[in-house]
Structure 1
């Protein structure tokens, strides 16, 4: 596409057509009764993508604007683009598509969600290769964090660990846990070091958290198969978990994390009583 103006027009038209295909309910918004056009409104796409309404409007109008990788990631998430659509979006914006596309823009395999849901008393989630949370079970929402209440583009476990003050309070030794998480994320960083998204993400976290900036600069690297965690729940008090991680065999970019109450603790009994009370 040699004509740059045509590229910008195509980019804007593509955004408009994708916006029209997304139902408000698909991104957690109420349907409303006074919608003149199908799909999302411009201001809704802008808000969900963490960009200004005016600037987004200019994008749809085909104005010659430079779009960062982070904005493209946010737009792809908000508009629920599949892999091919995401590649097309990057190409129209004149950006190199990432070499590996996590599947967070598409629902997880229903069988995987069923596995999560079957773990009634163990909080569990599925993350993509960059640690963006894409699926979770009821136990995770009730005992750890309601991920549905977090904006999609903020639903990253490393970001949550360093920027969500309520989540921080659930750990008896947040500093140690957070540093260990950074050390494990370093291995992720090395795999995606040529991906512009990862660099933007790390720089954002540096600006949002002084602790992250300081500990990231230490370049510690660590991997663990089993991690013991103690969590303080506002109702149940102290809970103990063994955290284990598994690569999903049919999609190796996905990671399943399971928090299992250890044998000999009273954690499982506390959880059972609590969840039963929640359903009554």
Structure 2
């Protein structure tokens, strides 16, 4: 860790410590300065008071991720503050915290809805679709017609014959989806949590079982960024897609599909208007 980064880390820790109310944590006594004392933060974080003091003084060296997590809890840091602390201390963001979600903020939904002719969805690391726009409903899948527990992309792909029939090259799509799903759940630390879903799909689909056993991993760039569908009304559809993380929720991913031709965009708009 550079001298400047160590100093910045110490300054940030000190600023977060002094904003806390000691009484809220059961600490009492007269104080010359506001906030918690260094030894009180160390006590809450279950680390050495000397080590914590050195960190604030910019001479403690690079702390471990475990120590930083304890300090985050001790100082009651927000997600943004936690990320900043890790960037100062280790030069990298912390591991993503996965949180169960059954929807998105109104602001994000308005963004999805503003993409009138571009299908767009928001999915969790376990590939459950939790938000979508009208274009996604008419071009991809009518997610709103399904119970929340059945809005999983892998379930669609391997267990829904209509969704399978729409894929231009189902074998390639299936291989990519399984590999990308594997990478996402590992990145989010959810390998154990998806065990039941994987077991269900393996029993229901020998093809999924074989792909899962192959242990391949993929990212979105490897697919070429193009999705081809056979739509019952629109016919052959080519969509260029991009994947984004959601600000403030890095465990969620937004995928936007853009028609490659303006004529197709116009037809999607007409289909939405007449739906």
Normalising TM by the smaller chain, what interval? 0.5 to 0.7
Aligned-partner SS, 1:229: strand
Q: Which residue of structure 2 aligns with residue 176 of structure 1?
A: 172
Q: Which residue of structure 1 aligns with residue 120 of structure 2?
A: 124
Give the Å deviation of 1:100.
Answer: 4.4
Q: Give the counterpart of 1:146 among 119, 142, 145.
A: 142
Quick one: distance in 2 between partners of 1:194 and 1:258?
24
Give the Å deviation of 1:185.
Answer: 1.3
Q: Which residue of structure 1 aligns with residue 269 of structure 2?
A: 272
Aligned-partner SS, 1:231: strand
Q: Which residue of structure 2 aligns with residue 6 of structure 1?
A: none
Give the Å deviation of 1:192.
Answer: 5.0
Give the Å deviation of 1:182.
Answer: 0.8
Quick one: distance in 2 between partners of 1:217 and 1:247?
28
State whether structure 2 residue 238 is matched by structure 1 residue 240.
yes
Q: Retained in 2: the 8 A contact 1:102–1:130?
A: no
Q: Which residue of structure 1 aligns with residue 201 of structure 2?
A: 205
The 10-residue stretch of structure 1 (116-125 or 222-231) with the greater mean CA deviation from structure 2: 222-231
Q: Which residue of structure 1 aligns with residue 75 of structure 2?
A: none
Q: Which residue of structure 2 aligns with residue 160 of structure 1?
A: 156
Quick one: distance in 1 between partners of 2:254 and 2:271?
24
Quick one: distance in 1 between partners of 2:145 and 2:235?
23
Aligned-partner SS, 2:237: strand
Q: Which residue of structure 2 aligns with residue 185 of structure 1?
A: 181
Aligned-partner SS, 1:253: strand
Q: Which residue of structure 2 aligns with residue 104 of structure 1?
A: 101
Q: Retained in 2: the 8 A contact 1:193–1:199?
A: no
Q: Retained in 2: the 8 A contact 1:240–1:265?
A: no
Indicate the RMSD between aligned Cα atoms, in angstroms. Answer: 1.9
Give the Å deviation of 1:233.
Answer: 0.9
Provide Cα deviations, 1:134-189, integer angstroms capped at 9, x if missing partner: 11111111111111222222211122111111111111111111111111112123
State whether structure 2 residue 231 is matched by structure 1 residue 229.
no
Q: Which residue of structure 2 aligns with residue 251 of structure 1?
A: 249
Higher gyration radius (CA): 2
The 10-residue stretch of structure 1 (243-252 or 148-157) with the greater mean CA deviation from structure 2: 148-157
Structure 1 gap segments, 5+ residues each: 1-98
Q: How many correspondences in the alignment?
A: 178
Give the Å deviation of 1:273.
Answer: 2.6
